[in-house]
Amino acid sequence: MSYYRIVGGRPLEGCLTVQGAKNSVLPILAATLLAPGQSIIRNCPDLSDVSAALDILSLLGCRVDRQGDTVLVDASVLHRWDIPERLMREMRSSVIFLGALLARMGAAELSYPGGCELGPRPIDLHLAALRALGADIREAQGCLCCRGGRGLRGRELCLSIPSVGATENAMLAACGCPGVTTIMGAAREPEIVDLQGFLHSMGAQVSGAGSSVVTVRGGLPLHPGDYGVMGDRIAAVTYLCAAGAAGGRVLTRGVNPECLKSVLSCLEEAGCTVETGPDWAAVECCQPLSGISPVRTAPYPGFPTDAQAILMAALAGGKGTTMFVENIFDNRYRHVDELRRMGADIQVSGRVAVVTGTGRLHGASVRSTDLRGGAALVVAALGAKGETQVSGLNHICRGYDGMERTLAALGADIQKIE
């Protein structure tokens, strides 16, 4: 079982170019199914979730090739429309293939994506949207059997929660539905704008991504796309929060700072110096982080739930008190027990967690509980006194491409021990 060995206390210094966005590239890979031919996806990160998505595409019949950070997907011939349970279990966000399979094949079969470390991950909004477009979806023995037949037609949809995945599934299915589909109450995340960009490169007529109303004119012939994935904003804030935890100055390149505003304003309030440019953001920290006003996670452009554990870890080693309210997922404080092993003072009650900075955490042996919880432990370890061992790296490599290499290049004392 491999783990990170981190000796904390060394300030970080340097610039890094952020990896491609995991939460962009996954729906974009699903979108390659919409047209026969070879799509080109550039700036694709090397992540286990991406490998899982490529395995699914291969199983469906696509020819997949990776050349460095460029991935080629040839979806000319698809010889099945079902995703077996073992692959669904590998990555719960595989549900994103549903809409694209329905659009291309008129059918899709996949096992119900299980819950995950964050709690139950319902897909009722996904299914309601696809049924509204005319899909016939039956749920039996944990399997979803979807048939579009020739009944798929564009129409107005309304999401009761701005679900990122449901918005993306509806966009992809709508590309295969003759007529106009309007998705009201759509999620506004930057990754959805990125998916729209890829769909445009395929010749799709999609507009409104980034706002709460997305419109798709479907049923048009599409061709393979050629697109460069945006930088990963959560990876960017991870390394910027690391500077807050360990001290020093880190500059992340390749992400529009507009996407980072809510987190950057927290770091500034906590005492960091923040500078930004067109495609970069820098954070400098030369004293322990102070407590800040309450952090409430919310759909974009609110504070991202994916950054909650990461910012909490940086503040836990500072001074002062901060209240967090996790409004998106039911079980997203699993990293708290591990942070407590490092001396963190965090009180949790339901959706609320109150962090009181201890001045400095101490090293310990800790285990990643989930992707962003694992990243939070690394951030905490970089500022902690002494040595920390972070295990459960299978969670971290789902969303971070070479985290240890990136941090070592910034001067961190971190090694991956096999």
Say whether 30 sits in a helix, a strand or coil. helix
Structural contact between residues 164 and 206, judged by C-beta atoms closer than 8 angstroms: no
CB of 192 to ligand EPZ, least distance (A): 9
In the bound state with ligand EPZ, the residue whose beta carbon lies nearer, of 45 and 208, is 45
Any idea which residues carry the catalytic annotation? Answer: 116
- Within 50-190, strands assigned E span 63-67, 70-74, 82-83, 107-111, 136-140, 143-147, 156-158, 179-184
CB of 332 to ligand EPZ, least distance (A): 8
In the bound state with ligand EPZ, the residue whose beta carbon lies nearer, of 120 and 178, is 120
Task: Say how far apart CA 251 and CA 280 lie, in whole Å.
Answer: 7
140: Cβ contacts below 8 Å, ≥ 6 apart: none
Structural contact between residues 120 and 168, judged by C-beta atoms closer than 8 angstroms: no
CB of 93 to ligand EPZ, least distance (A): 4
Amino acid at 197: G
Q: What is the DSSP string of 151-210?
A: -----EEE-SS--HHHHHHHHHHHTTSSEEEEEET----HHHHHHHHHHHHTT-EEE-BT
CB of 70 to ligand EPZ, least distance (A): 21
Bridge partners, 19 (sequence order): none
Q: Shortest CA distance to 362 belongs to which of 388, 335, 390?
A: 388
List, edge to edge, every strand of the sheet that includes 143-147. Answer: 82-83, 107-111, 143-147, 136-140
In the bound state with ligand EPZ, the residue whose beta carbon lies nearer, of 70 and 327, is 327
In the bound state with ligand EPZ, the residue whose beta carbon lies nearer, of 122 and 149, is 122
CB of 123 to ligand EPZ, least distance (A): 4
In the bound state with ligand EPZ, the residue whose beta carbon lies nearer, of 23 and 252, is 23
Distance separating the N- and C-terminal Cα atoms of the chain: 6
Enumerate helices (H) and strands (E) in the chain, giving the number of each. 14, 24
In the bound state with ligand EPZ, the residue whose beta carbon lies nearer, of 144 and 282, is 144
In the bound state with ligand EPZ, the residue whose beta carbon lies nearer, of 123 and 393, is 123
The residues binding ligand EPZ (CB under 6 A) are 22-23, 26, 93, 121-126, 161, 163-166, 187, 305-306, 328-329, 371-372, 399
> H helices within 306-402, ranges in order?
308-316, 335-341, 371-383, 393-396
CB of 319 to ligand EPZ, least distance (A): 28
CB of 27 to ligand EPZ, least distance (A): 7
Q: Shortest CA distance to 199 belongs to which of 180, 178, 216?
A: 216
In the bound state with ligand EPZ, the residue whose beta carbon lies nearer, of 219 and 368, is 368
CB of 155 to ligand EPZ, least distance (A): 19
88: Cβ contacts below 8 Å, ≥ 6 apart: 94, 110, 111, 112, 113, 114
What does the block give as tokens for 239?
A: 């390394």
